[in-house]
Structure 1
Amino acid sequence: MSEHECLDSAEERTWDAATLAFRLLDQRVEQDLQEETDLPLTYYELLVLLSKAHHKSLRMSDLAALTHTRPSRVSHAVKKLAEAGLVRRVHCEHDRRSWFAALTDTGQGVLDRAGARHVRSMRENLFDVLSPEQRDQLLDISRTLLARLAPDSALARSRPPAPEERASAPGELAARG
């Protein structure tokens, strides 16, 4: 194997640490959400996307694209959310082959409770353990990776926040859930 086919020891340590850290963070946040709301992280993320959408409704194919997930996985999740009364499945008026998922009032209530727990978990397990400089570095690194892996993502294209925006971010995060 050539040197280009192997990671050097520093690259390997970086990869191992990053993947393990984010896998464990994901697991911890999901555990916190499920303990309080019995809602898997994937379902929470779908509810958040619906809550931010116009009319709190999105086409199923758009949900799949936004989550970078296969349509079949989104359909399964939306079916479970619909069975729990958190979303409604609605036929598209203009294309009877297409379906929309729409957030219900019950779903909004669950999302509000889950959002508060999600924010607490993210603070406890990520933001509170990083310095402001590390948070800025993490944002910069994440945007760099997204520019490569998902260049069409709004997160990859967004500009860094101004210092005064950073100061107001905690309230904004809590409000968004």
Structure 2
Amino acid sequence: MSEHCGISASEERTWDAATLAFRLLDQRVERDVQQEVDLPLTYYELLVLLSRNEHGSLRMSDLAELTHTRASRISHAVRKLAEAGLVDRVHCEEDRRSWFAVLTDKARGVLRDAGARHVVSMRENLFDVLSAEQRDQLLDISRTLLARLAPESALAREGVPTREESDALAREGAGRAGTGGGAGHGGASGTGTAGGAAGPGTPEGAGARG
């Protein structure tokens, strides 16, 4: 029995292995993405979330909610992305206290350049390492944890896909990697919520970019 808070030695090993594995996975994927674009992975993921909205824009408060990040950190990240010419900061017409982050054409080019490498890295370092059964188990475990930690998340509320659906998603991801169209996590960043988060306050003309 471990001396740490009454958890067993097996539980402690599970915690240590899981946290180390996903920390290293995050570092590996970030390194691969940075071979294509000079962006931290967290900033790249914000661009991915924006790209999944039909207007290429989201309220900064929505970005904070989707990423479970403090609003101040999102403001800092969006400011840095704006300085790099990757987003525009636009006032909400209905609420001047709110701001939108809007993808620029330059950002869409960044996503095209790095998207395929991102998908390949995820496949090489995670999905191809696991069996189909292990991938299903990982999804189930992740949703169980999200139901505890972020029950409002769209990913926590989704049903577990059938084996046929999982295989179809895997084929779709492989196809995006081959064509350069896979800008992002292949669904791991809250697509179900991001797609309609902008709402009626979307800045005029935001959908005309790209």
2:87 alignment partner in structure 1:
87
Unaligned runs of 5+ in 2: 184-210
CA offsets, 1:41-86, max 9 Å, x none? 1011100110111311100111011001111111111111111111
Give the aligned partner of residue 105 of structure 1. 105
Tell whether the 8 Å contact from 2:116 to 2:182 is kept in structure 1 after alignment.
no
Partner of 1:47: 47
> SS in structure 2 opposite 1:55?
coil
Give the equivalent residue in structure 1 for 2:69. 69
Q: Report the secondary structure of 2:88's partner residue.
A: strand
| Structure 1 residue 164: Cα displacement | 2.4
CA distance in 1: counterparts of 2:163 and 2:170, whole angstroms: 13
Shift of 1:38: 1.1
Hey, what does 1:138 align to over in structure 2? 138
TM-score (norm. length: structure 1): 0.94
Aligned to 1:123: 123
C-alpha separation in 1, matches of 2:46 and 2:4: 39
SS in 1 for 2:101: strand
The answer for the alignment partner of 2:16 in structure 1 is 16
What is the DSSP-based 3-state SS (H/G/I as helix, E as strand, rest coil) of the residue aligned with 1:134?
A: helix
Overall identity of the aligned pairs, in %: 74
Whose helix fraction is larger, Structure 1's or Structure 2's?
1
Q: How far does residue 5 in structure 1 lie from its aligned partner after superposition?
A: 3.0
Instruction: Write out per-residue CA displacement over residues 102-156 of structure 1, whole angstroms, 9 at most, x where no aligned residue.
Output: 0111111101222111101101111111111111110010000000000000100
**Equivalent-residue separation in structure 1 for 2:40 and 2:66 (angstroms):** 18
**What's the Cα RMSD here?**
1.7
Separation in 2 of the partners of 1:125 and 1:20? 14
Distance 1:42 1:23 in 2: 13
Find the aligned partners of 1:119 and 1:38 in 2 and give their Cα distance: 17
The 8 Å contact of residues 151 and 157 in structure 2, kept in 1 or not, is answered as yes
Measure, in 1, the Cα distance between the counterparts of 2:48 and 2:159. 22
Q: Is the 8 A contact 1:46 1:63 kept in 2?
A: yes
Q: Which SS does the other structure have where 2:69 is aligned?
A: coil
Does the 8 A contact of 2:119 with 2:182 survive in 1? Answer: no
CA distance in structure 1 between the aligned counterparts of 2:159 and 2:105, rounded to whole angstroms: 34
Counterpart residue type for residue 67 of structure 2: T
Equivalent-residue separation in structure 1 for 2:110 and 2:40 (angstroms): 12
Aligned structure 1 segments of 4 or more residues deviating by more than 4 angstroms: none
Count of aligned pairs: 176
Distance in structure 1 (CA, Å) of the matches to 2:98 and 2:144:
34
1:157 aligns with 2:157: yes
Q: Tell me the secondary structure at the aligned position of residue 97 of structure 1.
A: coil
Contact 1:44 1:114 in 2 (8 A): no
